[in-house]
Amino acid sequence: MVSRVWKIGLHIQRDGIRAVAVQRRREGWQLKKWWYFPLTAATDCHGLIISNAPLIQALQTLRAELPAQHHLRVAFPARRTLQRTMPLPDQLCESECQAYVTTATAKALQMAPESLFSDYRPDAAQKTLSVTAAHRQEVGDVIALVERGGFSYYALTPDACALTSFFPYAAPQIQGIAASDGEQWLWATRERWGGQTEGGLGGLAQTLSIPLSQWLCCSDTPEEGAAVCDPWRWLTWVHPPKAPDEWRFAVALGLAMGNYPI
């Protein structure tokens, strides 16, 4: 498969904005460009970065450097999402299924349906739905931020979910991929994903019952026993200069390389 469209992953963190643009070629992925915009006064509100002038200016600068044809995927904090599994309903069209998911999730969480934004996907056996939900106001805050930056066409994906993009390139024995963002461990297995703030990778491995030898670790100081994850090596064409603290770009790169519907 060959595409002229740039696929871009955007990860907004407390210390800066990281973005990666790649292009799909017949022989693999080609790196087009990476960006890092430091943020010295960003405010984190429960995992969401509050809009301010430097942040908006950085997003506008990024937008000005992109070609007309691009697909942008923006990281949404996994810690601000709610996940659950529910039975797959029979004989419902897509709009009816979405209404069912939203209503059932809101009821389980004792929340008003209009206060939730939800998405879902069926499992491989087509028997259950994996549901991800977030507060509609928080999703709206991220959307408003991205649109103030000048973007019109984009999609949101939980940051931890982006790590699942690397499993097709990982060794078969790898069952977990984790990346540190400086404050927590974002993690993904082949079936689920999330974030953990305490216990380090060792605690995460114990919680998920996956030995450290079956983990890939994106961090400045990888956990002993776990393999180092360098997702940049899965790009076929990479050119200098190298990005600073390459491991901090794992989410942005995963978003760019992911096989997500736009």
What is the distance of C-alpha 1 from the center of its chain? 23
Q: What is the pLDDT of residue 45?
A: 65
Strand partners, 158: 76
- Dump pLDDT digits (tens) for 36-64: 999 876 666 666 777 788 899 999 999 99
- Dump pLDDT digits (tens) for 21-39: 999 998 899 999 999 999 8
Three-state SS string across the chain, please?
CCCCCEEEEEEEECCEEEEEEEEEECCEEEEEEEEEEECCCCCEECCEECCCHHHHHHHHHHHHCCCCCEEEEEEECHHHEEEEEEECCCCCCHHHHHHHHHHHHHHHHCCCHHHEEEEEEECCCCCEEEEEEEEHHHHHHHHHHHHHCCCCCCEEEEHHHHHHHHHHHCCCCCCEEEEECCCCEEEEECCCEEEECCCHHHHHHHHHCCCHHHEEEECCCCCCCCEECCHHHHCCECCCCCCCCHHHHHHHHHHHHCCCCC
Closest CA to 142 of 86, 194, 76: 76
d(CA 169, CA 14): 29
Residue 119, burial from CB neighbour count under 10 angstroms (0-12, 13-18, 19+)? middle
d(CA 185, CA 179): 6
Least-confidence region, from 53-57, 76-80, 121-125: 121-125
Q: How many CA atoms lie within 13 A of 256 on its CB side?
A: 31
pTM of the model: 0.90
Q: Are 196 and 185 in contact (CB under 8 A)?
A: yes
pLDDT score of 203 more than 70: yes
Q: What is the pLDDT of residue 262?
A: 41
- Dump pLDDT digits (tens) for 149-198: 999 999 999 999 999 999 999 999 999 999 987 778 999 999 889 998 87
Q: What is the pLDDT of residue 114?
A: 87
